[in-house]
Amino acid sequence: MARDRTVLIWSTKDFSQKEHKSVRGNIEFDYATRVCWSPDGKAFIVHKALANAMEVYKVTKRPDGTLGNSQVALTFPQHNEVADILAMEVAVSGKFIMTCNNKNQLLIWSLKGDILETIDTRHGDTYSATLSPCGRFIATTGFTPDVKVWEVKFSKTSNFEGVKRAYDLTGHKAGIYNCSINSDSTRMVSVSKDVEYEKGQLVYLLHTGIYDKKDYPGKIKLSPDGRTVVIASMATLTFFSAITGDKLNTIEDIYAEPNSTSSSSTSLSSAVAVDASDTWGTPFPRCSASSTLFLCYSVIACLDFLVFGVVNDIVAGLLDIVAMVDAREAKSSCFFSVAGRHHSELENEAGIVCTLMVGWQDESFRLKWVTPKVEGNIKDAIFDPSNKLVLTLGDKHVRVFHNVAGYTATIQDLEQSQRKATNSTMRERITQQIKDAKKALENIKKVTNQKTK
């Protein structure tokens, strides 16, 4: 999914090929912020940004068995006009859909669009919600230093009974950014502001580790086999062994240009310049960090359509636009507005050209700026079901990496199992598995070394 109002469906079978084919789906007059598959793989659900509601798309198949077009099958009613959706997942049983928003509301939906129950997560600020692969538990994280685990209960006749608090996972000392659960729901991993990540089983803490991106929120994922942990922070992937807790390797600046020397972040004030060609009157003074009066203003965004009010998605990562004006220039009450237009001819192909109009009693000024090209951050990271690949989302392309750390963690796990083997047959079988894992690791290293030369 992307802000160009499209959803692309890829076949994982093509990942090892040079050509990667995709099927394109369109979202009319809107774009998706969340997407997930139905358990049977015949439909997918998106959360639409402007409508702030979920929509189900049915995927058809061509006569040759390949995926065809996607069509709208059902549109869910809007629950909260102002709340932003943090998570959206479908239970593997197909009995319910889970959503969680930034208003601390955890919602359980039926497949027909009815709300079965609404729960207050009681985190103060909720950061994430994760549905276990078994469809039984929901783990929520937030400002509080614990992971709250909820159990969704159904009767033997598949009637919804309610959501109950199962238990809490404790051990962190600060708010928890994110958590992840492995494929058989036996292990969970979490990452916190206290710069530690934890891996637990039920309510028992197994390992604690340190990661070095404490100043930035991290997305954490546990591989389906429960052997590898990856933390995505800014544009860096850090891999850990879930067996020993050791850091295995790091991939940095995955979205940086080959010869890029630009900073990963640029202040808004440094990108502002006076429109000298304008004839509105006195040139507006350049905005600077020394400005003392901060004016927050409403926005009119012309991104193929008009949206009135404060627009939170004009630039990715920029939630509020703030105009900085020297207090000495504010002689009386002022008015202000902004017009932004998508400018596809810019170098970054996603820039916004904005015009700021500020006026006082007898004066009015126009100021234009272009948002600078900024290196992207990782929005999400995903393990494939085979544990062999890691996919990242952040720029216009989905990046696919070999999970080299996963092979190392597999060898560590097998070596521990070998020492605990109770008979020679089991020991021989594990020994052969270790040899196969080491051979696969060497082959992957050869492939990656050839690609980097």
Same structural domain, 215 and 320: no
- Same domain? For 64 and 199 the reply is yes
Residues 389 and 319 in one domain: no
Evaluate whether residue 1 is within a structural domain. Answer: no
Say what the pLDDT of residue 198 is. 60
DSSP reduced 3-state for 11: coil
Residue 342 in domain: yes
191 and 234 in a common domain: yes
Q: How far apart are CA 180 and CA 247, in angstroms?
A: 18
Total-model pTM? 0.62
Say if 225 falls within a structural domain.
yes
Regarding whether 216 and 246 lie in a shared domain, the answer is yes
Residue 124 lies in a domain: yes
The answer to whether residue 263 is domain-embedded is no
Which residue, 285, 295, 288, 290, is CA-closest to 336? Answer: 295
Q: Is residue 264 part of a domain?
A: no
How many whole angstroms from its chain centre is CA 172?
22
Could you tell me if 318 and 254 lie in one domain?
A: no
Same domain, 130 and 20: yes
- H helices within 335-403, ranges in order? none
**Full pLDDT tens readout for the chain, 453 residues:** 788 888 888 877 777 777 777 888 888 889 998 999 999 888 999 999 999 999 999 988 888 877 788 889 999 998 888 888 999 999 999 999 999 999 999 999 999 999 999 999 999 899 999 999 999 999 999 999 889 999 999 998 989 999 999 888 888 888 888 899 888 888 888 888 775 556 554 455 566 666 665 556 678 898 999 899 998 888 889 999 988 888 898 988 887 654 443 333 322 222 233 333 333 333 333 333 333 223 333 232 333 333 333 333 333 333 333 333 333 333 333 333 333 333 322 233 333 333 344 443 444 444 433 333 445 688 888 898 888 889 998 877 888 898 999 999 999 999 999 988 888 899 999 999 999 999 988 888 887 665 544
CATH number at residue 74: 2.130.10.10
380 and 366 part of one domain = no
CA gap 89, 71 in Å, rounded: 20
What is the domain count for the chain? 3
- Residue 195 is assigned to a structural domain of this protein: yes
Q: Strands 335-343, 299-302: parallel, antiparallel or unpaired by DSSP?
A: parallel
User: Over the range 393-413, which residues count as b (16 or more CB within 10 Å of their CB) and which as e?
Assistant: bbbeeebbbbbbbbbbbbbbb
Mention every residue, 6+ apart, whose C-beta is less than 8 A from residue 75: 53, 54, 55, 56, 113
Same domain? For 232 and 163 the reply is yes
Residues 245, 198: Cα–Cα separation, whole Å? 9
With respect to residue 144, please indicate whether it lies within any of the assigned structural domains. Answer: yes
Q: Where are the beta strands (DSSP E) in 312-363?
A: 322-325, 335-343, 351-359
In sequence order, the 6+-apart residues with CB closer than 8 A to the CB of 311 are: 299, 301, 340
**Whose structure tokens read 């004030």?**
269
Residues 279, 146: Cα–Cα separation, whole Å: 58
Q: For residue 214, give the amino acid letter.
A: K
**93 & 174 share domain:** yes
Element (H, E) at 151: strand 147-154
Q: Do 362 and 447 lie in a common domain?
A: no
In 211-251, at which residue ranges do the beta strands (DSSP E only) sit?
219-222, 228-233, 236-241, 247-251
- Take residue 339 and report the two structure tokens written for it: 């017009």
Q: Do 168 and 226 share a domain, yes or no?
A: yes
Residue range(s) defining the domain that contains residue 109? 6-258+376-403
For 80, the enclosing helix (H) or strand (E) is none
